[in-house]
Amino acid sequence: MTTQPPLTAKGTQYWGIAGRRTSLAALPHTSAVAFQVIKYLGVAYLLYMAWATWRDKGALTVEQDKQPLLVRKVIMSGVLVNLLNPKLTLFFFAFLPQFVPAGQSGAVPHMVGLSAVFMALTFVVFVGYGTFAALIRDRVISRPAVLTWMRRTFAGAFAAMGAKLAFTNQ
C-alpha cells in the first residue's frame, strides 16, 4: 500500500476522517477565530488547487495496473467510504423517515426497503457513469484541446469555490 500525499483527494479524505474522529469538527462552532483560520486555510487550499490545475500542462495518462484489483478490495473500499460519509447518514435519517407512516408497526423493514430502493437506483446511475466514462475516455485523453478546456473549467470551479468560501459568514 502506498502512502498518499496530504494534498490528494485520498489524503484530504484521511485528514477529514482524522478531524472528525478527534472532535476537531466542533472547534469552528466554539470559536470565531478558529472558524476564520480554518476558513481562510480552505480558501488558500482551493486557490492553490485552482492555480496548480490551471498551470498543469502535462499529458493526462491512464496507467494500467500491473495487477488487477481484487473485487473484494474495491467493494470494501466503497463500503468504507460510504460508511464514513456523514452526508449519506444524514440523508437516510433526515429524508427517508418522512415516507414511513408514524405509529405504524414495521417501520424498520419499511426503512430498509426504502434504503434498498435508494441503493439500487444509485447503483444503476453509477453503472451508467462508469459506462459513459469508459466510452469517452480515449476521445478525451487523445485531444489536447479538450484536456485544456477541462483543466480550465476545474481551475475556474476551484477559484469560484474559494471566492465563495472567502465571503461566507458563519
pLDDT in tens, 20-77: 555 555 666 677 787 788 889 989 999 999 999 999 877 666 666 677 778 888 888 8
For residues 155 and 55, the answer to whether their CB atoms sit within 8 Å is: no
**Mean pLDDT score of the chain, rounded to an integer?**
79
The model's pTM is 0.53
In the Cβ-directed half-sphere of 13, how many Cα atoms lie within 13 Å? 13
C-alpha cell belonging to residue 70: 481484487
